[in-house]
Structure 1
Amino acid sequence: WLVIQRGLQIGRSIILIYLCDVSLVVDGQEFPAHKSLLACSSDYFRAMFKEYTKESKAAVIHLKVISATGLENILDFIYTSWLSLSMYSLEDTLEAACYLQVMDAIPLCSQFVVNNCALENCCFAANIASKFYLLDAMVASEKYIINNLWRLLQEDVDEVELLELNTKSMLTLLTSDDIPKVDEKKLLNLTLKWLQYDKIRLLNAKALFENIRYGLLPLDTLRELYTQSKVPLTASIKNLIIKAINYHSCPTKQPILQDKFSTLRSQKAWIMLIGGDANGELVENVLGFDVYSHKWRMVTNLQKKVRLHCTCVIGNFLYVLGGESPERLNDDTTEISLGITKVVYRYDPRFDQWIQVASMLEKRAQFSCCVVNNFIFAMGGRKEDQAIISSVEMYDVNRNCWTKSKELPCKMHGHASTLHKNIIYISGGKSAVQVNSSKDVYSFNRMEGQWKKQALMTIARFGHQMATVNDAIFTFLGIYEPFSDIERYDPVHNQWTRLRPMTFDRFCYGLVVVEQTVLLLGGKKWQDAQEVHTQNIVGYDTENDCWEEICSLAFPFSGLHCAILQLSDKSASM
């Protein structure tokens, strides 16, 4: 054995020939070897060299299935435990390893694919992994393709490799819920090209088309797909296309028509910063904030600059309601003033589009809103001439209309609201401009249709915020509060509890709940008897009753409202 090992250091091709007892011949090339070592390393050779077989007595054995390159690499592995691999030799090596049943070499090939997957070979790697059932390599290569599909679809990248992708990987691609920077139209075009690349693939058309998200395709694309004849469509697929066409024909109903075919391929939720002012100017830009990476992105522009408004989300559609907006005093002047509006706009992140839906029955600012079973409730607020109102109205998404609901127990504005188990809770506010802030809390069950008074807060609040986390309701700072205390309400026991005070005093901030943490974004604070903007974002851990500073806002926002939306991965980060 020492002699053999010494010969291997010089090169296996010059192993002492007189010690070899068999020659393996592939494609005219001869490879001397030792039967005993082959039998110890390969189930194939172990069975071949049994005493009763003809091959056990043969000095030369011809192997016709594998290549010379593959055999050479596997023999090197048998003799040295080292496996020399490249993408060029990978398939030959795997064929030899599988055919000769040298099983220890296969995980090494799989790991090689995982470690060397790149833009120029990822499709080939997926095909190899699929052909030889390399599960780890399959997962890694498919994940790489999904994350880099936007690069593979660029004009300067060879599209042929992508069109040669195996069926299983193509199906995995289309079933993915998170494909960065690729819109659905590009996925559809890729699918059509892939099916036409080899006519036998048309047998897989139904399985692939069932995973196209037709609600994310433009109307003209849907009609073109329905009428094309290059790829036959089954009746069930045509029904999906017709359903998507009908989806586009009822834009105001879309939030309640959501299913997997209209859900964005994005797992990331962004915090939207909507309206308010920065440095004394009303903000037009709607920004998105990723709390995990601290990245910002420009999302869209408001149809109207607004403050003292409300926002809510239904079916991943953003609604912006009422508030104060700039408007001309009359048609004959360019002078602008702030007027209270009843207009409602809706933003669709799928197509980056705004539409105006039915306006509220009354103009409102400094009011609150909640969503109950896909109905939007707009409650109280202030209208023109500083008049405080008690009216409540309800928006029916299905009918695109507002109807009156049970009025509040009293006129109020600057109050806060939240939802807990489909019951609306409102707190605080003022009943008139010069009256002190209120401690009152009311609840409203839509099924009962009545407002009920609940336990009072321990602090009177105005212009504050409420948030529901699990089974608790929290109230946070309002305007002109002398302390920084916050409170937790237990709806089951109708009881309030004081919590750790904020170390970051503020008002006119945005609020949003992310998992178990309540985030407060921007706003104003008192400094030397002056209102000054604050740019930091702070988080309140509801489980541990503690505060921490997260990061800073891109701009000194105040009076903003926040919502969480899933966005298409198109806009660049700031």
Structure 2
Amino acid sequence: MFNNYYFIFLTAVIYIINCNNFINTTPINNNSQQNNQSIDFSDSYIHVCGGWDGSNYHSECYRYNTHTTWQSMPSLTLPRDDYSLVTYDKKLFAIGGYNGNYLNSVESYDTQTNQWKPIASMNILRHYHDAAVLDNTIYVCGGENGNNVFKSCEYYYKAIDEWHFATAMSMERRGLALVAHEGYMYAIGGKNLNEYTNTMERYDTVKQQWQPMSNMKYTRGYFGSASFLDKIYVCGGWGTSDWKSCETYDPLTNQWTQIASMLLDRSDFKLIAFDDKLYALGGLTMGGQQTDTVEIYDYKANQWSYTTSLPKPLEMFGASVITYL
């Protein structure tokens, strides 16, 4: 009887030792390395592409996050300025713009293949328009083609690679902001046929209707905008502001509130929500100079500060955030 118990005890000990040896073998280290690589590879990045440096149209693209400096990545297939760059379905989409010719062409960047490729073109040549992603759909509104300023909108029907018209805005807008926020799409500011505006309208995708909302405190065109936390932020731009001023819109109260101004006056720049902060990137100063400066807004402190600059001075470029998987 004693021998039987001893045999069972010895077998259990050997089994436990083998299990521990298995757990502590190299696969754990390999998995650890794979996890680290996965975390690094799946980081989110700000992407900046194209634009105008005062002399040339650009197609170069760069990406940045808080753990790296600006890194080069594959260029657009075409130089573009004042176009729209949005993230949709884990891809970047560069839409329309101008490079000596007005464009309706669209191209997408796939993080898996590391390549840009053309997709279906929009129905209209558009420049100074804006784009947003709402309800898993890319929308584009406004802009101009040199002869006409548009109030028309269109959306990308990915299943058949086609663009279709959506309900037009109530007024023509170029240099506007199109912002998707909490289930609605907001068309903000811009310049109509003759003047800058501070008006805003909201699009309901279910009713397919635009509804007027509260006006901004300042008229603005060619300004920066972003959906950040529970509010919409706008900064800078041409109009009655000083190109530094910023304000936020609260959908719950339908009111605009002024916040701390940027450190540098800017138009034709991008405002990006990233890493729990807002980034104001590049643009044109009131002195008529392209800038490479970047500043970040800390909403808790209501304060702006400078951070790592762009690779070169640029305005009218595209910017968007995407996560690599």
TM above 0.5, yes or no, is yes
Corresponding residue for residue 186 of structure 2: 425
Corresponding residue for residue 299 of structure 1: 73
* Contact 2:189-2:221 at 8 Å conserved across structures: yes
Q: Which amino acid aligns with 1:302?
A: L
Which of residues 29, 47, 57 is equivalent to 1:272?
A: 47
Q: Shift of residue 485 of structure 1?
A: 1.6
Bigger RCO (CA 8 Å, 6+ sep): 2
Corresponding residue for residue 7 of structure 2: none
* Contact 2:46-2:274 at 8 Å conserved across structures: no
SS of structure 2 residue aligned to 1:131: helix
Distance, in Å, in 2 between the alignment partners of 1:179 and 1:452 is: 44
* Contact 2:219-2:239 at 8 Å conserved across structures: no
Which of residues 450, 462, 465 is equivalent to 2:221?
A: 462
Q: Shift of residue 393 of structure 1?
A: 1.0
Which of residues 263, 267, 288 is equivalent to 1:531?
A: 288
Distance, in Å, in 1 between the alignment partners of 2:110 and 2:196 is: 37
Distance, in Å, in 2 between the alignment partners of 1:364 and 1:277 is: 17
Corresponding residue for residue 367 of structure 1: 129
Q: Shift of residue 322 of structure 1?
A: 0.5
Q: Shift of residue 293 of structure 1?
A: 2.4
Distance, in Å, in 2 between the alignment partners of 1:482 and 1:439 is: 11
Which of residues 85, 106, 118 is equivalent to 1:344?
A: 106
The 3 A distance-change label for structure 1 pair 427 and 524 is same
Q: Which amino acid aligns with 1:322?
A: G
1:487 is the counterpart of 2:259 = no
Corresponding residue for residue 438 of structure 1: 197
Corresponding residue for residue 4 of structure 2: none
1:472 is the counterpart of 2:246 = no
Corresponding residue for residue 281 of structure 1: 56
* Contact 2:176-2:188 at 8 Å conserved across structures: yes
Corresponding residue for residue 311 of structure 1: 85
Percent identity of equivalent pairs: 21
Distance, in Å, in 1 between the alignment partners of 2:209 and 2:189 is: 18
Q: Shift of residue 567 of structure 1?
A: 4.1
Q: Shift of residue 177 of structure 1?
A: 7.9
* Contact 1:177-1:267 at 8 Å conserved across structures: no
Corresponding residue for residue 319 of structure 2: 562
Which of residues 142, 148, 169 is equivalent to 2:30?
A: 142
What does residue range 188-199 of structure 1 map to in structure 2 within 5 Å? none
Richer in helix (by share): 1
SS of structure 1 residue aligned to 2:30: helix
The 3 A distance-change label for structure 1 pair 283 and 129 is farther
SS of structure 2 residue aligned to 1:532: coil
SS of structure 1 residue aligned to 2:47: strand
* Contact 1:339-1:384 at 8 Å conserved across structures: no
Corresponding residue for residue 3 of structure 1: none
SS of structure 2 residue aligned to 1:319: strand
* Contact 1:374-1:397 at 8 Å conserved across structures: no
Corresponding residue for residue 389 of structure 1: 150
Please, which runs of 5 or more residues in structure 2 have no aligned partner? Answer: 1-9
SS of structure 1 residue aligned to 2:319: strand
Distance, in Å, in 1 between the alignment partners of 2:291 and 2:94 is: 24
Q: Shift of residue 544 of structure 1?
A: 2.7
Richer in strand (by share): 2
* Contact 1:276-1:558 at 8 Å conserved across structures: yes
Corresponding residue for residue 58 of structure 1: none
Corresponding residue for residue 511 of structure 1: 271
SS of structure 2 residue aligned to 1:305: coil
Distance, in Å, in 2 between the alignment partners of 1:142 and 1:473 is: 44
**TM-score with structure 2 length normalisation?**
0.88
Distance, in Å, in 1 between the alignment partners of 2:257 and 2:241 is: 18
After superposition, what is the alpha-carbon deviation per residue over 1:243-284, rounded to whole angstroms, capped at 9, x for unaligned?
xxxxxxxxxxxxxxxxxxxxxx82211211011022521112
Q: How many residues align?
A: 312
Corresponding residue for residue 546 of structure 1: 303
Distance, in Å, in 1 between the alignment partners of 2:183 and 2:36 is: 29
Question: If you compute each CA radius of gyration, which structure gives the higher value, 1 or 2?
Answer: 1
After superposition, what is the alpha-carbon deviation per residue over 1:466-511, rounded to whole angstroms, capped at 9, x for unaligned?
2111211111111255422211111111011111122222122122
After superposition, what is the alpha-carbon deviation per residue over 1:48-67, rounded to whole angstroms, capped at 9, x for unaligned?
xxxxxxxxxxxxxxxxx9xx
Please, which runs of 5 or more residues in structure 1 have no aligned partner? Answer: 1-64, 66-97, 107-127, 147-172, 181-264, 326-337, 569-574
RMSD (Å), alpha carbons: 2.5
Distance, in Å, in 1 between the alignment partners of 2:258 and 2:239 is: 19
Q: Shift of residue 436 of structure 1?
A: 2.5
Q: Which amino acid aligns with 1:507?
A: S
Distance, in Å, in 1 between the alignment partners of 2:262 and 2:116 is: 37
* Contact 2:223-2:270 at 8 Å conserved across structures: no
SS of structure 2 residue aligned to 1:302: coil
Distance, in Å, in 1 between the alignment partners of 2:176 and 2:268 is: 13
* Contact 2:219-2:241 at 8 Å conserved across structures: no
**TM-score with structure 1 length normalisation?**
0.51
SS of structure 2 residue aligned to 1:384: coil
Distance, in Å, in 1 between the alignment partners of 2:183 and 2:140 is: 15
What does residue range 125-204 of structure 1 map to in structure 2 within 5 Å? 131=21, 133-134=23-24, 141-142=29-30, 146=33, 173=34, 176=35, 178-179=37-38
Which of residues 117, 139, 155 is equivalent to 1:377?
A: 139
